Amino acid sequence: MSLKTARVLTTIYFILMALAVTWPGLVLFARIEPFILGLPFSLAWISAWIAGSVVVLYLLDRVEKRYRDGGEG
């Protein structure tokens, strides 16, 4: 994946996340059931986006690192 694509995708992820955890995105998921691992749905929903952000940042870092080591970007 090119550096630019990785950066764009990362940015998109965080914009989607911002929408998903505030109005209007969260309105759709503001409910109690189904319980996930014992947690009410909305709490699990927000937590999942946070866990996802670790993965996204990690993947971004791998691409960025490759470019840094290659002396480009």
Report residue 41 as tokens.
């749905």
d(CA 67, CA 47): 31
Q: Shortest distance, CB of residue 46 to another protein, whole angstroms?
A: 5
37 near another protein (CB under 8 A): yes
∠ CA 18-46-21, nearest 5°, is: 30
Subset of residues 15 to 34 that bind another protein, contact rule: CB under 8 A? 17-18, 21-23, 26-27, 30-33
**Nearest partner of 67 among 11, 7, 10, 12, judged by Cα:** 7
What is the contact surface with another protein in residues (CB under 8 A)? 10, 14, 17-18, 21-23, 26-27, 30-33, 35, 37-40, 42-43, 46-47, 49-51, 53-54, 57-58, 60-61, 64
